[in-house]
Amino acid sequence: MKIDILSLFPEMFTAVLHESILKRAQEKGQVVFEVTNFRDFTTNKHNKVDDYPYGGGAGMVLTPQPLFDAVKAIKSKNETTPKVILMTPQGRPFTQAIAEELAQEEHIVLVCGHYEGFDERIVEYLADDEISIGDYVLTGGELAAMVVTDAVVRLLDDVIVSDSHENDSFSMGTLEHPHYTRPADYEGMKVPDVLLSGHHKNIEQWRREQALIRTAKRRPDLLVSMSLTDNERALVAEIISEK
C-alpha cells in the first residue's frame, strides 16, 4: 500500500512513521509513506497557501491551487489512482470499519488542513472522501492523519500477528474481554479461576460474557447493531437493568 500525506508541517510525521510497528511495516515492504509539503507547490511569490474568506469573517482558508497541483503531481508520479481523503472535523466519523475499508485500497492521499478550513472547491472537486477522528477540534489534520495511518497500517498483511486483530475491540462489535498474565496471584490480586482451568470452552464463554458486560456498561450504543443469542440478550438486559 502507498500512503501519501500532504501537510504544511511534514516534520510532525517523522517520529510516528519511523518507530515501532509503522517502521517495521515499511521495512517489510507492506507500506510506502511519502510526506510532502504542499507549500512547495505554490505558484505565488510569497508561497502563500491561504487567503481571507470571501464574504468576510474570521480565519484563513486554504486556497485551491497548491493542493490541486500537489495531488496532480502525486497522480502523475504513480500508476495507481489514489483515493484522496481530506482530514477535517466535517468528515465522516472514523471507525474500525472505515480503517478496514481503507486497508483494502492500493493508494490513499491524506490531506491535512490548517487554519479555518479548505476552500469548498477542494472538498467538491479534489477530494473523494472526508474523515474526522472525533467531535473535537484540532489545530490541524496532522494528528488525525497519524491516527488513521496507524489504524490502517496495522491491518495490512503480516504487519502484526494475524490472529490478534480478529479479537480487537470493535472488529467483533464489542469492546475486548479483560486480559491477564502471570503471576496468577499478584499480592493477593487474583486471576479469575476459569482462565487457569485449561477448559477452552468455558474460557471462550467467559470471555464472550465479559466482553458483553463491558460493552453494556461502557458502550451500550455498540450493542444496538449487534446480533446476539437469546442468552446474550438476557445477560445484556440484566446488566443494563442493574446499572
Active site residue 92: no
- Our CB check for ligand 6GU shows the closer of 1 and 133 to be 133
The answer for 170, left when phi > 0, alpha when psi is -120 to 50, beta otherwise, is: left
Pairing type for strands 50-51 and 107-112 reads unpaired
Catalytic residue, chosen from 116, 129, 150, 232, is 116
* Long-range Cβ contact pairs of 37-43 (< 8 A, separation 24 or more): 37/6, 37/7, 37/8, 37/9, 37/10, 38/6, 38/7, 38/8, 38/66, 38/67, 38/70, 39/8, 39/66, 40/70, 41/65, 41/66, 41/67, 41/69, 41/70, 41/73, 42/66, 43/69
Please report the DSSP string for 87-108 in residue order.
EEEEEEEP-HHHHHHHTT-SEE
Least Å distance, CB 87 to ligand 6GU, is: 4
Task: Report 66-95 residues binding ligand 6GU (CB under 6 A).
Answer: 87-89
Q: How far is the CB of 134 from ligand 6GU (least distance, A)?
A: 5
- Pull the grid cell for residue 2: 502507498
Cβ distance to ligand 6GU smaller for residue 15 or 137: 137
The count of residues interacting with ligand 6GU (CB under 6 A) is: 13
Task: Identify whether 218 is a catalytic site residue.
Answer: no
Q: Which of 154, 207, 208, 214 is catalytic?
A: 154
Instruction: State yes or no: residue 109 binds ligand 6GU (CB under 6 A).
Output: no
CB-wise, 48 or 92, nearer to ligand 6GU? 92
Among 126, 138, 151, 152, binds ligand 6GU (CB under 6 A): 138
Can residue 6 be called a binding residue for ligand 6GU (CB under 6 A)? no
Could you tell me if 110 and 6 are in contact, meaning their C-beta atoms sit under 8 angstroms apart?
A: yes
Closest CB to ligand 6GU among 133 and 211?
133
**What's the DSSP call for residue 243?**
-
Distance in Å, CB of 181 to ligand 6GU, minimum: 35
- Identify the residue whose cell numbers are 477540534: 137
Which residue's Cβ lies closest to ligand 6GU?
A: 144
Active site (annotated) includes residue 116: yes
Least Å distance, CB 223 to ligand 6GU, is 25
126 or 216: CB nearest ligand 6GU: 126
Contact residues toward ligand 6GU (CB under 6 A) are 87-89, 131-134, 136-138, 140-141, 144
Active site residues: 89, 116, 154, 168
